[in-house]
Chain A
Amino acid sequence: MAMAEQVGGACPKGAKASPIEFDLHAPLTGHQARVEAERCYYCYDAPCTTACPTSIDIPLFIRQISTGNDLGAAKTILDSNIMGAMCARVCPTEQLCEQACVRNTAEDKPVTIGLLQRHATDVLLNDGRQLYAAGAPTGKRVAIVGAGPAGLACAHALARLGHAVTIFEGRAKSGGLNEYGIAAYKAVGGIAAREVDYILGVGEIEVKHDTRLGRDISLDLLRSQFDAVFLGMGLGGVNAIGIPGEDLAGVEDAVGFIAALRQGVPAPVGRRVVVIGGGMTAIDVAVQARLLGAEDVTIAYRGAESAMKASPYEREVARVRDVRIKTGLRPKAILGEAGKVTAVEFTYADGRDETCTIPADQVFKAVGQRFLAGDGASTLALEGGRIAVDEGRATSLPGVFAGGDCVAGGQDLTVTAVEDGKIAALSIDSYLRA
């Protein structure tokens, strides 16, 4: 079915459809990439590039693919977005570049920019050629908190500018949400880690893992030991729903479940699963549960479908895999027997004086994450609960910059985090050279 194809129903040719190896965006073959690349009109002042938060020169890289210059295409991508490989997989392209594609106007079928970007970046990562080198040393040292997309993008740009970078990462691995927070079917083949390795391959970037701000190091310490600091620690807290029964066995944080699955920790799924939430994580965990064998998966969202943060495309990804999406349901209580979850009770958002229950032996909470300022950033000015930054991503403290999900006004996307890191690196460079 055409729709199934559009929402990533296909497996790569010859690939096994094992739940953990399932690839939502199966790669294009070389032939498919050439054919698709030929569809690009090479627009003037291309709307796709304008729509890209990192302003990748999309017509150029697609033209390079069409002429057999895949490595050149990859360089065009990475020059603007060093996380081009993961962004090709996790970007909501249907709301960004592909929505802007002029092919939509006449045919309702954009050039599949995301898949082409994946093609080019895959070729580069498989080739292994390092396109970037650290710049001539400036003698300046920059501390970065968080080895996620914002921190890595910032580190890479700073290293190229000649600054020595030390990244402090709270977890055991680098990559941030790409490594811990994205469904496995969007990042098969260890792509997140391979991309991190490629980024660090520029040199002059040291990563200290298991080193958390607020626990192992403090902002004051970093400020005293480094010439500048970039904060890209993301969102440390998982929101609770605040209803009875959240502590029953079988009730889990979606974020923790996805992280465990990504790290190869056994993550059993129930037969009847209810996911509470309406964002990307809710979709990720629901689809992941279905792929792992859950018979019946329901996403319950409190508002209208149009208010869900998960895009129409993401919702379609879930629906074609038999995930039921029910809207207008507010969780009232999680019910259980003998300490184990049995159902979730909801009230209706439309005010009806009724409740309904959905049977469940596993419940995932996916109601968002929040910034934990207490974790070492309490001296910074906040805005809406996240770090306030100016256009150059400077915080209220001199020499301290921030970007990614932990700053106010973000879109909680990998691609915007990368752009934050890029912009902050340029600001830091100006600051250090001033």
Chain B
Amino acid sequence: MADLTTTFAGIKSPNPFWLASAPPTDKAYNVIRAYEAGWGGVVWKTLGEAGPPVVNVNGPRYGALHGADRRVIGFNNIELITDRPLELNLREIKQVKRDWKDRALVVSLMVPCEEEAWKAILRQVEETEADGVELNFGCPHGMSERGMGSAVGQVPDYVEMVTRWCKQHSRMPVIVKLTPNISDIRAPARAAKRGGADAVSLINTINSIIGVDLDAMTIAPSTDGKGTHGGYCGPAVKPIAMNMVAEIARDAETRGLPISGIGGVTTWRDAAEFMTLGAGNVQVCTAAMVYGFRIVEEMITGLSEWMDGRGYTSTADFVGGAIPNVTDWQYLNLDYAVKARIDQDKCISCGRCHIACEDTSHQAITAMVDGKRRFEVIDEECVGCNLCASVCPIADCITMEPIAGIDPRTGREVGHGYSNWTTHPNNPNRKAAE
């Protein structure tokens, strides 16, 4: 069995599956249950400054976007940082770390943008012997109205400044958690690096309205008839998160900066995808909240099986493995062409490929052949767009197969060489072919 041990920003854990800072990590009871279930680490739910803790609404805090059979596809929340006293959290953190030395325990922090405030809480966290801190620059709701969370994360200068304070006033590894509610994720990531961050983690939740109650004319979750935007997460945000992780992983300025991948990780496969895009580990919240802590068993065994099959002995063997193949559009090979191929033995004749192509794409799939219901690709029309394969309900029934020779659609020779937009004759800014 592959060794899943990881060292992330200097923090060791028996596997790369951490629980993200969120309700599942709000107190010792939950964290101990998580460790018992097998989680490699947790990021304790965000602590605020000393004094009376924040309060949460007493109405619903969560809302869900459901798919077939009420599967939770997206999830949002309006919960704030921990509403338990700081001292209680610190006491529990210290005890839990003492009892679970082999597991990672990182503490998430969010205090006002003042050096003294950060200095004070860092000292207190250090005393717990926690493994590190994560700076919550991400929360998009509630705390951001008070100048914290994403209000900091959206201003790269603040990110850099606070990160620098934390590095100055602590010997602990500092992970900077980034908000996706920004146009270019590389800016805050670069700022974190300039400030001395040991790692970044992303994404935090996305600003969202999860649904509208059409009877009450309010949004969900609703508190006494009024709603506010919440933080969106769950499987639906994974593609957004993966792009942001990859952007940082392949950016010249931040290359090599450890990344903790967060956003819709539900299965071992999700984790492996994030990791091949440069994440050293992953953090999970929604999947645990939907299914319970035991899902980590599937993640551990699944990742391990996959690594064994690929001959990987440690996670370092594949972290960032896909990054060399993430590029800009302008470098994609325009001499490469595929055609859809429908496996007639697998086809169940639902016709979805046909109607999708017919109504919205390139009219490249038949509905009828020789008077019979039959779906076949018309190579002369097929642009290889992958829509048909995307809507087909049967896995691997429609595949996109590379062609070589004359493309019957364009009449042009394809499939042998490499040429991209930078040298394409239609590009007014093309460079001279070399």
A residues with a Cβ closer than 8 A to B are 34-35, 38, 41-47, 102-103, 105-106
> With A35-B69, A38-B68, A38-B69 known to touch, is A45 a contact of B394 (CB < 8 Å)?
no
Interface footprint category on B: 10 to 19
Residues of B within 8 A of A106 (CB): 346, 348, 394
List 23 interface pairs A-B (beta carbons < 8 Å), by A numbering.
A34-B69, A38-B68, A38-B69, A41-B350, A41-B393, A42-B352, A43-B349, A43-B351, A44-B350, A44-B351, A44-B352, A44-B354, A44-B355, A45-B373, A46-B351, A47-B349, A47-B373, A102-B348, A102-B349, A102-B350, A105-B347, A105-B349, A106-B346
Q: Looking at the assembled complex, report how far the CB atom of A45 sits from the nearest CB atom of chain B, in whole angstroms.
A: 6
CB <8 Å contact, B367 and A45? yes
Residues of A within 8 A of B70 (CB): 34
Within the assembled complex, what's the spacing in Å between the Cα atoms of A35 and B70? Answer: 8
Over the window 389-400 of chain B, the binary record of Cβ atoms lying under 8 Å from chain A Cβ atoms (1 yes, 0 no) is: 000011000000
Within the assembled complex, what's the spacing in Å between the Cα atoms of A35 and B66? Answer: 12
CB <8 Å contact, B349 and A41? no
B residues with a Cβ closer than 8 A to A are 68-70, 346-352, 354-355, 367, 373, 393-394
Q: Looking at the assembled complex, report how far the CB atom of B349 sits from the nearest CB atom of chain A, in whole angstroms.
A: 6
Within the assembled complex, what's the spacing in Å between the Cα atoms of A233 and B350? Answer: 40
Within the assembled complex, what's the spacing in Å between the Cα atoms of A34 and B69? Answer: 7
Residues of B within 8 A of A105 (CB): 347-349
Within the assembled complex, what's the spacing in Å between the Cα atoms of A103 and B348? Answer: 7
Within the assembled complex, what's the spacing in Å between the Cα atoms of A34 and B348? Answer: 23
Residues of B within 8 A of A42 (CB): 352
Which of the listed residues B349, B354, B373 has the most CB atoms from chain A within 10 Å of its own CB?
Answer: B349
Residues of B within 8 A of A102 (CB): 348-350
Residues of A within 8 A of B367 (CB): 44-45
Which of the listed residues B346, B348, B352, B394 has the most CB atoms from chain A within 10 Å of its own CB?
Answer: B348
Residues of B within 8 A of A35 (CB): 69
Q: Looking at the assembled complex, report how far the CB atom of B378 sits from the nearest CB atom of chain A, in whole angstroms.
A: 16
Extra A-B contacts (9), CB below 8 Å, given A38-B68, A43-B350: A34-B69, A41-B350, A42-B352, A43-B351, A46-B351, A47-B349, A102-B350, A103-B348, A106-B394
Residues of A within 8 A of B69 (CB): 34-35, 38
Within the assembled complex, what's the spacing in Å between the Cα atoms of A274 and B361? Answer: 62
Within the assembled complex, what's the spacing in Å between the Cα atoms of A103 and B393? Answer: 10
Q: Which residue of A lies closest to B356 (CB)?
A: A44
Residues of A within 8 A of B351 (CB): 43-46
Which of the listed residues A35, A45, A46, A103 has the most CB atoms from chain B within 10 Å of its own CB?
Answer: A45
Residues of A within 8 A of B394 (CB): 106
Q: Which residue of A lies closest to B365 (CB)?
A: A44
Within the assembled complex, what's the spacing in Å between the Cα atoms of A106 and B394? Answer: 8
Within the assembled complex, what's the spacing in Å between the Cα atoms of A73 and B366? Answer: 30
Q: Looking at the assembled complex, report how far the CB atom of B1 sits from the nearest CB atom of chain A, in whole angstroms.
A: 34
Q: Which residue of B lies closest to A31 (CB)?
A: B70
User: Main SS of the interface on chain A?
Assistant: loop
Residues of B within 8 A of A41 (CB): 350, 352, 393
Residues of A within 8 A of B373 (CB): 45, 47
Within the assembled complex, what's the spacing in Å between the Cα atoms of A105 and B351? Answer: 13
Residues of A within 8 A of B355 (CB): 44
Q: Looking at the assembled complex, report how far the CB atom of B93 sits from the nearest CB atom of chain A, in whole angstroms.
A: 42
Q: Looking at the assembled complex, report how far the CB atom of B215 sits from the nearest CB atom of chain A, in whole angstroms.
A: 12
Within the assembled complex, what's the spacing in Å between the Cα atoms of A38 and B66? Answer: 12
Within the assembled complex, what's the spacing in Å between the Cα atoms of A46 and B355? Answer: 11
Within the assembled complex, what's the spacing in Å between the Cα atoms of A331 and B135? Answer: 89
Within the assembled complex, what's the spacing in Å between the Cα atoms of A45 and B373? Answer: 9
Residues of A within 8 A of B354 (CB): 44
Q: Looking at the assembled complex, report how far the CB atom of A72 sits from the nearest CB atom of chain B, in whole angstroms.
A: 15
Residues of B within 8 A of A103 (CB): 348
Within the assembled complex, what's the spacing in Å between the Cα atoms of A284 and B349? Answer: 35
Within the assembled complex, what's the spacing in Å between the Cα atoms of A102 and B373? Answer: 12
Q: Looking at the assembled complex, report how far the CB atom of B78 sits from the nearest CB atom of chain A, in whole angstroms.
A: 25
Within the assembled complex, what's the spacing in Å between the Cα atoms of A422 and B48? Answer: 72
Within the assembled complex, what's the spacing in Å between the Cα atoms of A378 and B394? Answer: 57
Q: Looking at the assembled complex, report how far the CB atom of B22 sits from the nearest CB atom of chain A, in whole angstroms.
A: 29
Q: Which residue of A lies closest to B67 (CB)?
A: A38
Q: Which residue of B lies closest to A50 (CB)?
A: B373
Within the assembled complex, what's the spacing in Å between the Cα atoms of A105 and B346? Answer: 9
Top-6 shortest CB links A-B: A44-B351, A44-B355, A38-B68, A105-B348, A102-B348, A43-B350
Residues of A within 8 A of B68 (CB): 38
Q: Which residue of B lies closest to A103 (CB)?
A: B348
Within the assembled complex, what's the spacing in Å between the Cα atoms of A66 and B70? Answer: 11
Residues of A within 8 A of B349 (CB): 43, 47, 102, 105
Q: Which residue of A lies closest to B392 (CB)?
A: A41
Q: Looking at the assembled complex, report how far the CB atom of A69 sits from the nearest CB atom of chain B, in whole angstroms.
A: 12
Within the assembled complex, what's the spacing in Å between the Cα atoms of A407 and B247? Answer: 72
Residues of A within 8 A of B352 (CB): 41-44
Within the assembled complex, what's the spacing in Å between the Cα atoms of A35 and B69? Answer: 5
Within the assembled complex, what's the spacing in Å between the Cα atoms of A103 and B70? Answer: 21
Within the assembled complex, what's the spacing in Å between the Cα atoms of A264 and B351? Answer: 48
Within the assembled complex, what's the spacing in Å between the Cα atoms of A42 and B353? Answer: 12
Q: Looking at the assembled complex, report how far the CB atom of A99 sits from the nearest CB atom of chain B, in whole angstroms.
A: 13
Within the assembled complex, what's the spacing in Å between the Cα atoms of A45 and B347? Answer: 15
Residues of B within 8 A of A45 (CB): 351, 367, 373
Within the assembled complex, what's the spacing in Å between the Cα atoms of A102 and B346? Answer: 11
Residues of A within 8 A of B350 (CB): 41, 43-44, 102
Within the assembled complex, what's the spacing in Å between the Cα atoms of A102 and B350? Answer: 6
Q: Looking at the assembled complex, report how far the CB atom of A49 sits from the nearest CB atom of chain B, in whole angstroms.
A: 12
Within the assembled complex, what's the spacing in Å between the Cα atoms of A46 and B354? Answer: 12
Within the assembled complex, what's the spacing in Å between the Cα atoms of A401 and B30? Answer: 75
Q: Which residue of A lies closest to B397 (CB)?
A: A106
Within the assembled complex, what's the spacing in Å between the Cα atoms of A44 and B347? Answer: 14
Within the assembled complex, what's the spacing in Å between the Cα atoms of A291 and B106? Answer: 66
Q: Looking at the assembled complex, report how far the CB atom of B342 sits from the nearest CB atom of chain A, in whole angstroms.
A: 14
Within the assembled complex, what's the spacing in Å between the Cα atoms of A43 and B367? Answer: 12
Within the assembled complex, what's the spacing in Å between the Cα atoms of A167 and B98? Answer: 87
Q: Looking at the assembled complex, report how far the CB atom of A112 sits from the nearest CB atom of chain B, in whole angstroms.
A: 15
Which of the listed residues A43, A44, A106 has the most CB atoms from chain B within 10 Å of its own CB?
Answer: A44
Q: Which residue of B lies closest to A106 (CB)?
A: B348
Q: Which residue of B lies closest to A41 (CB)?
A: B350
Within the assembled complex, what's the spacing in Å between the Cα atoms of A343 and B122? Answer: 96
Residues of A within 8 A of B347 (CB): 105
Within the assembled complex, what's the spacing in Å between the Cα atoms of A328 and B70? Answer: 51
Which of the listed residues B70, B367, B393 has the most CB atoms from chain A within 10 Å of its own CB?
Answer: B393
Q: Looking at the assembled complex, report how far the CB atom of A403 sits from the nearest CB atom of chain B, in whole angstroms.
A: 29
Within the assembled complex, what's the spacing in Å between the Cα atoms of A393 and B393? Answer: 41
Within the assembled complex, what's the spacing in Å between the Cα atoms of A47 and B348? Answer: 11
Within the assembled complex, what's the spacing in Å between the Cα atoms of A45 and B352? Answer: 9
Q: Which residue of B lies closest to A104 (CB)?
A: B348
Within the assembled complex, what's the spacing in Å between the Cα atoms of A242 and B352? Answer: 55
Residues of B within 8 A of A38 (CB): 68-69
Within the assembled complex, what's the spacing in Å between the Cα atoms of A43 and B354? Answer: 10
Q: Looking at the assembled complex, report how far the CB atom of A105 sits from the nearest CB atom of chain B, in whole angstroms.
A: 4
Q: Looking at the assembled complex, report how far the CB atom of B374 sits from the nearest CB atom of chain A, in whole angstroms.
A: 12
Within the assembled complex, what's the spacing in Å between the Cα atoms of A105 and B348? Answer: 6
Within the assembled complex, what's the spacing in Å between the Cα atoms of A106 and B367? Answer: 19
